[in-house]
């Protein structure tokens, strides 16, 4: 059972490994898009965290939920991404996706709670 579970990420991400190793341009494109995604995610999360404002009884729960979503995405990415190869790149994407998910949650809650 574990062999099948470990074979799924390898089947999904091995073509990405092959593509990135074809040339340095592909490798740089993969790293560059990861950094752009990380910067967009950080700006989104920071902007909506500041828009929600200082922590009180209501906004503290929103902040804790966004941190929980961040943790869940990190754990999910740890289970999905392979650990044998390109782990630095997947480390970058793991935290980019996690911060982006937390930022999207903050944006949705801001629109729902503060703009209504």
Q: pLDDT digit string (tens) for 58-79?
A: 889 999 999 999 999 999 999 8
The pLDDT, as a whole number, for residue 17 is 87
Q: How far is CA 71 from the centre of its chain?
A: 10
Q: What is the rounded distance in angstroms from the CA atom of residue 31 to the CA atom of residue 1?
A: 33
Please tell me the pTM assigned to this model: 0.86
Is the pLDDT at 10 greater than 80? The verdict is: no
By the 8 A CB rule, do 83 and 104 touch? no
The pLDDT, as a whole number, for residue 15 is 87
Nearest to 49 by CA among 33, 72, 28, 65: 65
Q: pLDDT digit string (tens) for 19-59?
A: 988 999 989 999 999 999 999 999 999 999 999 888 788 88
């Amino acid at each position: 059972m574990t062999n099948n579970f470990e074979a799924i990420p390898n089947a999904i991400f091995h073509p990405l490994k092959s593509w990135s190793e074809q040339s340095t341009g592909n490798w740089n494109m993969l790293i560059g898009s990861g950094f752009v995604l990380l910067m967009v995610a950080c700006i989104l999360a920071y902007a909506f965290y500041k828009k929600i404002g200082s922590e009180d009884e209501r906004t503290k729960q929103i902040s804790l939920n966004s941190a929980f979503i961040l943790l869940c995405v990190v754990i999910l990415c740890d289970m999905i991404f392979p650990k044998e190869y390109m782990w630095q790149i997947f480390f970058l994407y793991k935290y980019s996706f996690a911060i982006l998910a937390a930022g999207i949650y903050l944006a949705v809650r801001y629109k729902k709670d503060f703009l209504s």
